[in-house]
Amino acid sequence: MATIQDFKTEKPTWCPGCGDFGVLNAMQKACVNLGIEPENVAVASGIGCSGKMSQHMGGYGLHALHGRSLPNAQAIKLANDKLTVFAAGGDGDGFGIGMGHFIHAMRRNIDITYIVMDNHIYGLTTGQASPTTEVGMKTKTSPKGAVEQPIAPVQLALAQNCGFIAQGFSGNIKQLTSLIEKAIQHKGFSFVNVFSPCVTFNKVNTYDFYKSHLVNLDEDESYDAHDRILAMRRVAEANNIVVGLIYEDPERASFESTLPGFPETPLVEEDLSISEEGYEEILATFR
């Protein structure tokens, strides 16, 4: 059985106090708790501070292009469905340049887990407005305050009927670990948005901010995470500042389970050759 140590690699280069440490920690713990071996984990990540996740999380990494971790991750899973596959990245990466892939990954519903480190800022490029930057916040590209309404990732996920939606906070690693565990276990696309403070460039959405504003749905016994419209209302009312399991549809069938002819054997284990009969069958179609 793997331990946390097995999921550790080089020392992360994040700023001390960066929320991404917590996310890394929770991902590692979730894998350990579920008995997953590091060689069976693959992380595809985009570009950003958060994008360095694939370097810092043990397991195979594909540190890909800005905004494109989801296409990579989906194909990794199809190529070898024995792997536990994460896509990981930032709010700019996932909700800016990568928005189209996000919505389409939800409809396609391949069994991967998408973790967004949502710090409401472009960290790695040193502090520009991101798609989730709040109206009025001053950043290097909005020196007089941002004017565009922020992206509402959880509401979009609900609208597109994503089968598993959770939101976590780097400051609560225990809850985050459990959410990621559930996400991994969900059979289909799972989305975990994490409030992961950027201590260097975002002086508004800080640990303290979240500690004093977050509503924890996991602690609300009356909350039913299986009613999509109810979830929408609740999230909207809390102005998105909620954590917990927001929505789950355990019945929603994954792409792999519905695609006609999806192979039993992982693609990576298929024989590359075609049998004589296989060739003959194909050639017949050309005659």
Partner 1 sequence: MHEQIGWKVGGKQGEGIDSTGDIYAIALHRMGYYVFSYRHFMSLIKGGHTNYKIRAANRIVRHHGDTTHVLIAFDQTTVDYNWHEMVDGGVVIYDSTSFTATKPDDANVNLCGVPLTEIAKECGNPIMKNMVAIGVSAAINKFNPDDFIPVVQDKFGKKGQAVVDANMDALRRGYAYFNENFNISFPAPPVPERAEGDDHLYVSGNSSVGFGALAGGCRLLAAYPITPATEIMYWVIEHLPKHGGVVLQAEDEIAAVNMAIGANFTGVRAMTSTSGPGFSLMMEALGLAGMSETPLVIVDVQRSGPSTGLPTKTEQSDLNEAIYGTHGEIQRIVLTPKTVEECFLLTAEAFNLAETYQCPVIVLTDLYMGMSYQSIDKFPVAAVEHRRGKLITEQELKDLGVYEYHRYNPEVKDGISPRSIPGQKNGRYVALGNEHNGIGIEVEDLETRTSQVAKRQRKLANFQHFTGVSVDGDSDAPLALIGFGSTWGVLEEAREELEEQGIKVKHIHFSRVFPFPETEFHAAMESVTQGLVVELNTTGQLTELIHKSAGYHGVLEKCLKYDGDPIGLSEIVSAAKKTFKVGVHS
Ligand X SMILES: Cc1ncc(C[n+]2csc(CCOP(=O)(O)OP(=O)(O)O)c2C)c(N)n1
Q: Are 63 and 45 in contact (CB under 8 A)?
A: yes
From the list 169-177, 193-201, 203-211, 234-242, the region that binds ligand SF4 by CB under 6 A is 193-201
Closer Cβ to Mg ion, 72 or 119, answer by number: 119
State the DSSP code for 83: S
Partner in contact with 14, chosen from partner 1, ligand X, a copy of itself, none, beta carbon below 5 to 8 Å by kind: partner 1
Using CB under 8 A, pick the residue from 3, 33, 34, 39 that binds partner 1. 39
Partner in contact with 29, chosen from a copy of itself, partner 1, Mg ion, none, beta carbon below 5 to 8 Å by kind: none
Residue type, 101: H
92 contributes a contact to ligand X by CB under 6 A: yes
Q: Are 37 and 4 in contact (CB under 8 A)?
A: no
Residue 45 pairs in a beta bridge with: 63, 88
Residue type, 72: N
Residues 179-208 close enough to bind ligand X by CB under 6 A: 198
Using CB under 6 A, pick the residue from 27, 44, 106, 198 that binds ligand SF4. 198
Q: Are 197 and 19 in contact (CB under 8 A)?
A: yes
Partner in contact with 100, chosen from ligand SF4, Mg ion, partner 1, none, beta carbon below 5 to 8 Å by kind: partner 1
From the list 13-21, 27-35, 184-192, 244-252, the region that binds ligand SF4 by CB under 6 A is 13-21
Q: Distance between CA 76 and CA 221 in Å, rounded?
A: 37
Residue type, 59: G
Residue 79 falls in which region: left (phi positive, over 0), alpha (psi -120 to 50) or beta = alpha
* Interface contacts to ligand SF4, rule CB under 6 A: 14-15, 18, 20, 49, 119, 123-124, 198-201
